[in-house]
A and B are shown apart, each in its own frame.
Chain A
Amino acid sequence: MKRTTITLVGLATAASLAFTACGRDDDAGAGGEAQSTAIADGKAKGTIEVWAMGTEGEKLGDFVEEFEDANPDADVKVTAVPWEAAHDKISNAIAAGEGPDVSLIGTTWMGEFAEAGGLMPTPEGLVDEADFFPGAWQSTEVGGTSYGVPWYVETRVLYYRSDLAKKAGWDQAPTSWDDLKQFAEDLKSKGGAKYGLNLQPGQTGSWQSYLPFAWTDGATLTNDDGTEYTIDSPEMAEALDYYTSYFDDGLSMTRTLDPGELESGFADGSIGSFISGPWHAGLVEDAGVDESDYAVAPLPGKDDGMGTSFVGGGDLAVFKDTDNADGAWKFVQWLSEPDVQQEFYDEVGDLPAVQASWDTGELSTDPQLKVFGEQLKDAQSPPSVPTWEQVAASIDGLVEQASRGDLSGEDAVKQMQSEAKSIGTGL
């Protein structure tokens, strides 16, 4: 008994000593890294391995033929990776230095993978930052260096039952916070809805519902160079109080909805409006809402005009360990050309991150899509820091406490700030 204990302790000590062989050196990772040098002109050559998830992964393989025709010496190999496994697979690829050349990266992962030293800074002059929606470009920047190019985007807008709104005396969507409140109340009192506006009362992902209100109010989460959190601000508190007032006034359900409940509630008229992304158009129509009975509108500003929404989506990044950086970046460049972006939209339905793609075709004529295009001009990404997921979880928890009335907005954001501070930015 004794002897085994001694052996175990000895082994553990040896194991931990192995870790102390040398300390952390601050050369790896993001923050103040220079952009890569510009790529050469000419055609792409060699094999370009690409990882993509979801529908993008399934469809991209056939889509790249055009690129291969234009670059006869290049061979693009696309591997479809399921979203569930993608994060770990990319982590492992970075750790082992054995990855693809290019990968689709979820916008909220950029900070972590760039800090791990796995991604190559975007070459100078590869694309023009101004071509993209500002919020989307923001997601590629970690510690002031850009590590990729936005590929597709999604943003959140107000979905509402236009037939119920008419009944309640609203011919158009609300355009200020006071209006939105009134709108939700009227949908409930005159439109026959049980809940005027459904908001998420906490739990995973509620930060995506709450932060747009804070951004609309002018709040920022970090200072300009992303080194310190600035969550504890009167704007954040005011936005949270406004957000939670919907639960206090009985305009939104105070419990988390089960899957499918939102869509069926929207269909039977018990939920008058909600805020979500482009995928919900298909979901509510599947649930039986007629296309003429609902509409989308940009989020209302605080006093007038348009508010700020959340922008998510996917970026394209090139791995540091690539042996074909030139070809990889040329491929990324090709995917961000406006006409290619538009073709990809036609193929998959992903909203283009390049603004020019919205000037022609269905994206410029479809009234519903135009709303998303409009909203994307005023939408923000969360800070691209490696610890974002953890900070987001802490915000989720405090939104939940505030929604239940256990905390005032002011106290909740104070606590968000102190928790975020102790988590740090990880840069």
Chain B
Amino acid sequence: MSATAVHQDPTRRGQAVAGWILASPFVVLFLVFTAGPVLASLGMSFTDMRSTDLRHPFSVEFVGLANYVDLVQDPLFRKVTFNTLLYLVLGVPLTMGIALAVAVGLNGLSRSRGFFRVGFYLPVVTSIVAVSVVWKYILRDQGGLLNAALGWVGINGPAWLDSTSTALPSLVVMAAWRNFGTLMVIFLAGLQTVPREQVEAAEVDGASGWSRFRYITLPALRPVLLFGAVITGIGYLQFFEEAFVMTKGGPLDSTRSVTFFAFDQFGYGNYGYAAAASYLLFLAIVLLTFFQFRVLRTKD
């Protein structure tokens, strides 16, 4: 191989061959373990494959778009889609808002910034399951930390995770608390790129703090905000573990997400149906990302 690489007078063709040879281990692995399964699952979503067909996977019936049609008509799938969108619409602005506020606050600090940065980032690197279990105790009806605290000021707190109206928002708050650390670090880095001269010039011209933030800092942060919105959106569309550990999708499916639905369907052995649900989610992620790029990209 190296002989090819140090060839005296390499033609383009020879270089291409060498390149492919060098890349072949990765290409083969990628085709077999990534592209293959992805395409197979896409194919599976057009069949009525069930777990009981495992011995004869090619003897299943081709059903065209029937799985997708059934999904759109499935009341439970509609419900989980609504839950997931609600989670997204509540969660992304909340997480980004907290992250931006904390980042701007920390940016103004000269001392102990590192300490706070580590503190706020800790939940991100903590195991989601551990975090969920702890929050479950915080949100407990009887003897939960939150309701005990509310009790001191005379408020009788509800059973947060046992009511269809408060369970999902509770999970959103927890997710925001857990995920804002990542965005905060990214936004902090972004804040370093805000041109100081402009801020100082604006200050001299008598612009208020809010105007400086609104007209100088925010536009400079636009690409960073876009990045933050995209990764948070993709993450929140796939929310699963929190609900899985804390509420099992309940009460009355109010915290069941699209991913959870697909997970259940795979568990029931409805492989075709589950694959179709996964591809609808994939489509939603593509559309959301596209939409965010349209809205937030830098206007030249």
Residues of chain A having any CB pair with chain B under 8 Å: 11-12, 15-16, 18-25, 28-29, 91-92, 94-95, 97, 112, 115-118, 202-204, 254-256, 258, 386-387, 389-390, 393, 397, 400-401, 404, 406, 426
Contacts and interface: CB of A to CB of B under 8 A. Distances in A.
A426 B52 contact: yes
Contacts of B268: 387, 389-390, 393
Chain B residues touching A, range = 35 or more
Interface stretch (B36-44, B97-105, B180-188, B207-215): B36-44
B159 to A, nearest CB: 6
B141 interface: yes
B51 A393 contact: no
A255 B42 contact: no
Contact of A386 (B50, B251, B267): B50
Per CB-CB distance, the 8 closest pairs between chain A and chain B, nearest first, are A95-B54, A15-B43, A20-B62, A390-B268, A116-B52, A115-B52, A255-B162, A16-B43
B55 A19 contact: no
A118 B58 contact: no
A390 B270 contact: yes
A19 B44 contact: yes
A24 B59 CA distance: 5
A203 B243 CA distance: 13
A408 to B, nearest CB: 16
A25 B59 CA distance: 7
Contacts of A12: 39, 42-43
Contacts of B159: 255
A359 B100 CA distance: 72
A112 B251 contact: no
Contacts of A258: 136, 140
A81 to B, nearest CB: 18
A113 B52 CA distance: 7
Interface of B: 39-40, 42-44, 46-47, 49-62, 136, 140-141, 159, 162, 248, 250-253, 264, 267-270
A15 B269 contact: no
Given A15-B42, A202-B252, A426-B52, 6 more contacts: A117-B56, A256-B162, A256-B248, A386-B50, A386-B51, A393-B264
Given A255-B159, A400-B250, A19 B58 contact: yes
A256 B162 CA distance: 8
B59 A23 contact: yes
Most buried by B among A15, A23, A94: A15
Contacts of B49: 19
A247 B43 CA distance: 47
Most buried by B among A97, A116, A386: A116
Given A204-B248, A400-B251, A18 B52 contact: no
A117 B60 CA distance: 14
Most buried by A among B42, B52, B268: B52
Contact of B61 (A24, A95, A112): A24
Contacts of B53: 24, 116
Given A11-B39, A20-B62, A400-B251, A91 B47 contact: no
Contact of B267 (A25, A389, A400): A389
A115 B61 CA distance: 17
B252 A401 contact: yes
Nearest to A396: B250
B251 A19 contact: no
Contacts of A203: 248, 250
A22 B50 contact: no
A115 B55 CA distance: 10
A19 B62 contact: yes
17 contacts: A19-B47, A20-B47, A23-B61, A24-B53, A25-B59, A91-B51, A94-B54, A94-B55, A95-B57, A254-B162, A256-B162, A256-B248, A258-B140, A386-B50, A390-B269, A406-B252, A426-B269
Contacts of A256: 162, 248, 250
A253 B50 CA distance: 38
A91 B57 CA distance: 13
Contact of A16 (B46, B50, B54, B162): B46
A16 B62 CA distance: 8
B286 to A, nearest CB: 12
Contacts of B57: 95
B86 to A, nearest CB: 19
A24 B49 CA distance: 10
A203 B247 CA distance: 9
Contact of A118 (B55, B136, B250, B269): B55
